Amino acid sequence: MEKILEKIKNLLAEFGFISDALIALIILIVGLFAIKFIIKACLKIMQKSGVDITLQKFLGNLIGWGLKILLIITVISKLGVQTTSFAAILAALGLAVGLALQGSLANFAGGVLIMIFKTFKIGDLIEAQGQLGVVKEIEIFNTKLIGLSNREIVIPNGLLSNETIINYTSEGTRRVDLTIGVSYDADIKQTKKVLMDVLTSHPKVLNSPEPTVNVSELADSSVNFAVRPWCSTDDYWTVYFDVTENVKLALDAAGIEIPYPHQVNVKK
């Protein structure tokens, strides 16, 4: 009887462990679904409150990470690990990991600084670290851009918060800088009028600030004009390409030559 009772005791202990493991697994699964629900609820609340979309996604990521850490601690404690000893181990590991992952901590701090100072937001066209693209998402450690050729560019937040950033969107308007060269035989006043007519006739070129056309350089083989129309940031490339094409057509129609290199064959 003593042997039978001992076996039953051992079996109960084993089933008790299995029960704890199953409960911990259930807590993990339910917790992950609950975290998704909480994040969605928080995002809806922030949307109704008018919180900036950039801050919404950043806080959503931050809340998600925090809740997942709490869930892991809960699951481990359910498996019988003392939370006090686990906290001490976690603190020691945190110190070691912190020293090993100084770059990641710098990226986290960089993300917080970007949120505080609002250097840029989702949808802005920026240039940083030699990359040009539209901000797709600002995460806890990285910022994702979509390049002009539809490439995804990932830049660490630590670099973005400590280096120069050019934001092409923040002001709402941009100036298109074009240099147009014409022959020295061309009449300067006529050329300026033709170029200005091209700018003022384009529907997406702004009247304020006013477009300008000025002689910028007397080059070796051409008189160069600085053509400067202003437009909305979203219309930049449309204006750039349209004006370039229309300038060529207008100069040809006016009989104004655009110089180009000539190759002369010399007979020996």
CATH number of the structural domain spanning residue 35: 1.10.287.1260
Q: Give yes or no: residues 87 and 177 share one domain.
A: no
Position 67 scores a pLDDT of 83
Q: Give yes or no: residues 11 and 79 share one domain.
A: yes
Position 141 scores a pLDDT of 83
Position 18 scores a pLDDT of 52
Q: Give yes or no: residues 35 and 92 share one domain.
A: yes
Among 100, 129, 148, where does a domain finish? 100
Q: Give yes or no: residues 182 and 161 share one domain.
A: no
Long-range contacts of 187-191 (CB under 8 A, 24+ apart): 187/256, 188/215, 188/223, 190/254, 190/256, 191/223, 191/225, 191/251, 191/254, 191/256
Position 107 scores a pLDDT of 79
Task: Encode the chain (268 residues) as per-residue pLDDT tens digits.
Answer: 456 545 655 655 555 545 667 677 777 788 888 888 888 888 888 777 776 676 777 777 778 877 887 888 777 777 666 655 555 656 655 555 554 445 667 777 788 788 778 888 888 999 998 899 999 988 878 899 998 788 999 999 888 888 889 999 888 899 999 999 999 999 999 999 999 999 999 999 999 999 999 999 999 889 999 999 999 988 999 999 999 999 999 999 999 998 876 555 555 5
What's the rounded Cα separation, in Å, for the pair 58 and 242? 38
Q: Give yes or no: residues 88 and 7 share one domain.
A: yes
Number of domains in the chain: 3
Burial of 105 (0-12, 13-18, 19+ CB in 10 A): middle
Q: Give yes or no: residues 159 and 227 share one domain.
A: no
The answer to whether residue 108 is domain-embedded is no
Q: Give yes or no: residues 156 and 181 share one domain.
A: no
The answer to whether residue 263 is domain-embedded is no
Q: Give yes or no: residues 31 and 58 share one domain.
A: yes
User: What range does the domain containing 162 cover?
Assistant: 119-167
- Taking the CB of residue 14, how many other CB atoms lie within 10 A of it? 10
The answer to whether residue 66 is domain-embedded is yes
Position 226 scores a pLDDT of 96
The answer to whether residue 114 is domain-embedded is no
The answer to whether residue 262 is domain-embedded is no
| CATH number, residue 142 | 2.30.30.60
Q: Give yes or no: residues 141 and 208 share one domain.
A: no
Position 10 scores a pLDDT of 61
The answer to whether residue 224 is domain-embedded is yes
Position 5 scores a pLDDT of 45
Q: Give yes or no: residues 96 and 151 share one domain.
A: no
Q: Give yes or no: residues 78 and 15 share one domain.
A: yes
Q: Nearest 5°: phi and psi at 120?
A: -155, 170
Q: Give yes or no: residues 207 and 135 share one domain.
A: no
The answer to whether residue 206 is domain-embedded is yes
Position 100 scores a pLDDT of 46
Length of the chain equals: 268
Strands (E), the chain: 125-128, 131-138, 142-147, 152-156, 165-167, 173-175, 178-182, 212-218, 223-228, 230-232
